[in-house]
Structure 1
Amino acid sequence: MARAGTLIESVMDDIESKIASRAYLPNTRLPSVRAQAKAMQVSVSTVVEAYDRLVAEGTIVSRPGAGFYTSGPIAPLDLNQIGPKVAREIDPLWVSKESLEATPDALMPGCGWLPSEWLYQTGIKRAMRSLARQNSLDLTEYASPKGSQAFRHFLQRRLLSQNIEARPEHIMLTESGTHAIDLIARFLLSPGDTVLVDDPCYFNFHALLKAHRVNIIGIPYTPNGPDLERFAQALADYNPRLYITNSGIHNPTGAHLTPSVAHQLLTLAKASELVIVEDDIFADLETTRAPRLAALDGLVQVIEIGSFSKTVSASVRCGFIAAKPDWIEQLVDLKIATSFSGNRLDSEIVLQTLTDSGYRKHMEKLQGWLAKQRIDVSERLLRLGIQPWIQPKDGMFLWCRLPTGTNATQLAQDCLSKGIVLAPGNVFSQSQSAHDYLRFNVAQCTEQKIFDVLDWALKQQQ
């Protein structure tokens, strides 16, 4: 916890935050007194006093002739201590908690999911009734490590419709898309490795990668895909291990990857050892198909992942990984080691819902609803001086620039006091360059109160 604010206490805070983030492990030699004084632009006597107090508290130890060292067991991992400090309102973990713990009467134009009444509840209920009537192991038994054979055959056909060739043995079910990325990170990354993400990108990518203690580099995202010049420069400068992206409906911008950018991106990747994780969670919301990197690459350097929390249910969790066979086998071992088995019941409910005769028709209606909402919400935001970055072809998101001089974090704070949960731009931005942007979920923008409160909050900053 931060102290009162004297220079001595600021030095102590610096050391303690590095211990909490595991930048300093047990028995790590601290910078010399002079080096620490120079780094923090304080006097040597200030650092001497700070180190002496930390020794008295047992946080560090003094070894005569050798310097100062951290002591004790490894600190419990504190994600809030990793990376540069940001305002709590643009901390990905805070925004997630605020959305997930919102009261029933809160309005959430900043959240990343559809209202429950927009989902195919009829199909979910039908699947649950069907399972309850069966004398089935699905209600009680562990799942096989790779997951349901029937579901993996279904995913094979689904992926083939996107020109991705993956046999059932090349596919593994996971608990969610986040679980899929976590397993891949455990499999391929070590602390200190570099991972590329889009800037902006889905904010939980930042939080998850922080937990793996990697170096995160943001690549500016354009309406056609990542900035290829900056991408090439990052490859040369950092030798990254992973790049995580959406090729279809990009979160938060709603953009689509174009064929030209996709081909050039893969050409750059193939000249390195970069592995690309393509998160395809919004596939069922597309009416205009974007090229898939996994299809162009043939699952050589691209891993395809997805889940159904955005289109089936966030309560009934199921995702998948499609990758080359030897990687799948090793990922299965990791899955057994970390979660033993999958959720057999959830995967069966999701499969039955996806194959229900009404699912396709429901999705067509949903696509139509979203198209109408994107137009309606864009017009209402424009009347407030809020400008969509692009007009997306599909999906639920509008990435919007606020009027000149408006700070999105302050706007979010003001709106939260009125029961409106927003998503400030910098929560999505590794470079913290989106201070005047907000992401809007058009499906969650049906109430007039949202626009009334936005109008009031914008006037507060004028």
Structure 2
Amino acid sequence: MKHQLTRIEIVMADVKEKIATVVYMPGTRLPSVRAAANSYGFSPSTVVEAYERLQTEGTIYSRPGAGFYVAETTAPLSLTESGHNLDRAIDPLWVSRQSLEPSDNVLKPGCGWLPPDWLFEEGMRRGLRHAARGDATVISEYATPLGLPALRQLLTRRMAGLGIDAQPSQVMLIESGTQAIDLILRFLLTAGDTVVVDDPCYFNFRALLRAHRVKVIGVPYTPSGPDIETFAKILEEHKPRLYITNAAIHNPTGATLSHATAYQILQLAQASGLYIIEDDIFADFEVKPAPRLAALDGLSRVFYIGSFSKTLSASLRCGYIAAPNEWVESLLDLKIATGFGGGQLAAAVVLSALTDSGYRKHMSMMHTRLASARSQTLPRLEKLGIVPWLLPQAGMFLWCRLPDNNSATELANRCLSQGVVLAPGNAFSQSKNAENFMRFNVAQATDSRIFKVLAQALV
């Protein structure tokens, strides 16, 4: 049976979360007992007991007559979600762990990648054979700091097709999109800075930001991009240093950024000194190109990143960062400090696969296959009363509203016991206002057993 938090535990968990995310920094005075009691809607005695337990743990300390303060040395960081709801089904890392667990008997419509047999397997095999027969240094030595020149040149040509003007010297290869974001966060941020994310957004953005101990604020996402009025208010009131978003196909909603919204974002960013990370991991899933912030901005305030784990291979890791020249040197230093030189093999195989004569045909077939999967999945979900927030034109995701009185968290737990891994809405939501939503991956939802389990588990 799931443990229900007591009121004392709720207060303790909330204080610990604010300390972990540097909302309460070391030495910060906590709200008074009376103020906290009013905020939580609990009795003062409940808050007193919670504060005293936190003091016993060494998390906070008291000054007679002055209140309670955050201890100078706090507990080690825990990336597990905390707060009023400790159910791991809404924890971004829980979703990732369940999706990554190997099992032939588990169905994973909540995961964020394609089935293995949907990927460009033959092209990757040809690339591996080519690398094995080629220069021995590719399989034995470190890569140069920026990475394989031929792949960086190819990437700049691909960017040019999206209107992004970049030189190979502005492109740095890394191991994944996640590593790209991590390096940029190390470069730009210090603990306590504020970062804006879409609400909802890719859940690992939130987990990674938590690891950097920064304050995270969500901006509501609309079918054409972030809500501009709210975005402007956030910039004015909270002075964030960074905004992280998807380019092209948004995760989890499948929405597409409009030109008007893109221009407004950049105008606000320029006026407020905001930097932007634009993650374009789903670029090759597009049918009709959407505007890129990096193109409109000229790589002035925008870090443009991507990888190939969704189209080529999640096993052979390769990604990239495109950034202004003056930032690249510092990012290279961070890359060497945290991962040394990196390898050449992944980049060589990715280059071979991307230039393979079959890749374009493979992606064209992928577009058709995903469109077919969407057309088959939508009526199956709608039959259960699960309706899409919007109808995406491309990509693998459907962001869906559940029938009334259904909790996505509880539904995910019930389905997991039946061997189906789902992705409940609040794992993606900074404000935790998506309890009635679920993200479905149409490429992973072709098995009819998924819908039988859902039908049984829905209230």
| TM-score after normalising by structure 2 | 0.90
User: Matched residues in 1 for 2:247 and 2:198: separation?
Assistant: 11
Deviation at 1:264, TM superposition (A): 2.0
Indicate the residue corresponding to 1:247 in structure 2. Answer: 247
User: Matched residues in 2 for 1:179 and 1:233: separation?
Assistant: 30
**Structure 1 unaligned residues grouped into runs of 5+:** none
Deviation at 1:200, TM superposition (A): 1.0
Deviation at 1:64, TM superposition (A): 8.0
Cα distance 1:242–1:140, how it changes in 2: closer, same or farther (>3 A)?
same
Cα distance 1:66–1:177, how it changes in 2: closer, same or farther (>3 A)?
same
Cα distance 1:381–1:436, how it changes in 2: closer, same or farther (>3 A)?
same
Indicate the residue corresponding to 2:335 in structure 1. Answer: 335
Deviation string, structure 1 residues 344-403 (Cα, Å, up to 9, x no partner): 211111111111111111111111101111111112212222111111111111111112
The alignment status of 1:128 with 2:128, answered yes or no, reads yes
Deviation string, structure 1 residues 75-112 (Cα, Å, up to 9, x no partner): 32112266664531111011110111152211111110
| TM-score after normalising by structure 1 | 0.90
Indicate the residue corresponding to 1:188 in structure 2. Answer: 188
8 Å contact kept, 1:22–1:77: no
Identity in percent: 58
8 Å contact kept, 2:27–2:70: yes
User: Matched residues in 2 for 1:336 and 1:245: separation?
Assistant: 26
User: Matched residues in 2 for 1:52 and 1:260: separation?
Assistant: 52
Once the two structures are superposed, the pairs formed by residues 439-458 of structure 1 within 5 Å of their partners are 439-458=439-458
Indicate the residue corresponding to 2:435 in structure 1. Answer: 435
Once the two structures are superposed, the pairs formed by residues 202-351 of structure 1 within 5 Å of their partners are 202-351=202-351
Indicate the residue corresponding to 1:420 in structure 2. Answer: 420
8 Å contact kept, 2:248–2:292: yes
User: Matched residues in 1 for 2:280 and 2:7: separation?
Assistant: 48
Q: Which has the higher mean CA deviation after the structures are superposed, 374-383 or 54-63?
A: 54-63
For 1:291, the aligned partner's letter is: P
Any idea what SS the aligned residue of 1:79 has?
coil
Indicate the residue corresponding to 1:357 in structure 2. Answer: 357
Deviation at 1:193, TM superposition (A): 1.4
Q: Which has the higher mean CA deviation after the structures are superposed, 53-62 or 357-366?
A: 53-62
Cα distance 1:267–1:63, how it changes in 2: closer, same or farther (>3 A)?
closer
8 Å contact kept, 2:252–2:439: yes
The alignment status of 1:411 with 2:401, answered yes or no, reads no
Deviation string, structure 1 residues 191-216 (Cα, Å, up to 9, x no partner): 22111111111111111111111111
The alignment status of 1:177 with 2:183, answered yes or no, reads no
8 Å contact kept, 1:82–1:210: no
User: Matched residues in 2 for 1:46 and 1:237: separation?
Assistant: 29
Cα distance 1:50–1:371, how it changes in 2: closer, same or farther (>3 A)?
closer
For 2:230, the aligned partner's letter is: R
Indicate the residue corresponding to 1:392 in structure 2. Answer: 392
Any idea what SS the aligned residue of 1:235 has?
helix
Over the residues paired in the alignment, what is the CA RMSD in angstroms? 2.9
User: Matched residues in 2 for 1:316 and 1:379: separation?
Assistant: 36
Any idea what SS the aligned residue of 1:187 has?
helix
8 Å contact kept, 1:7–1:42: no
Aligned length: 457
User: Matched residues in 1 for 2:103 and 2:28: separation?
Assistant: 45
Indicate the residue corresponding to 1:401 in structure 2. Answer: 401
Cα distance 1:153–1:210, how it changes in 2: closer, same or farther (>3 A)?
same
Once the two structures are superposed, the pairs formed by residues 21-100 of structure 1 within 5 Å of their partners are 47=48, 74-80=74-80, 85-100=85-100
Cα distance 1:68–1:407, how it changes in 2: closer, same or farther (>3 A)?
closer
